[in-house]
Structure 1
Amino acid sequence: MKALVLYTLFVAIGGVAAALVGLYVEREFSEAAGLVVFLGFFFANFVTSWIAVILVIDGSLRNGLGRAEQTTLERQARTA
Structure 2
Amino acid sequence: MANIDLLNPKQANRLEEIIEALRFLGFDHSHLGIRSSSVHIEQHCGRVDFWLDGDEFVANGSLKSDGAGVWWLRRGGNPLMHIA
Superposed pair shares fold, TM > 0.5? no
For normalisation by structure 2, the TM-score amounts to 0.30
More helix by share: 1
Task: Give the greater-gyration-radius structure (CA).
Answer: 1
For normalisation by structure 1, the TM-score amounts to 0.32
More strand by share: 2
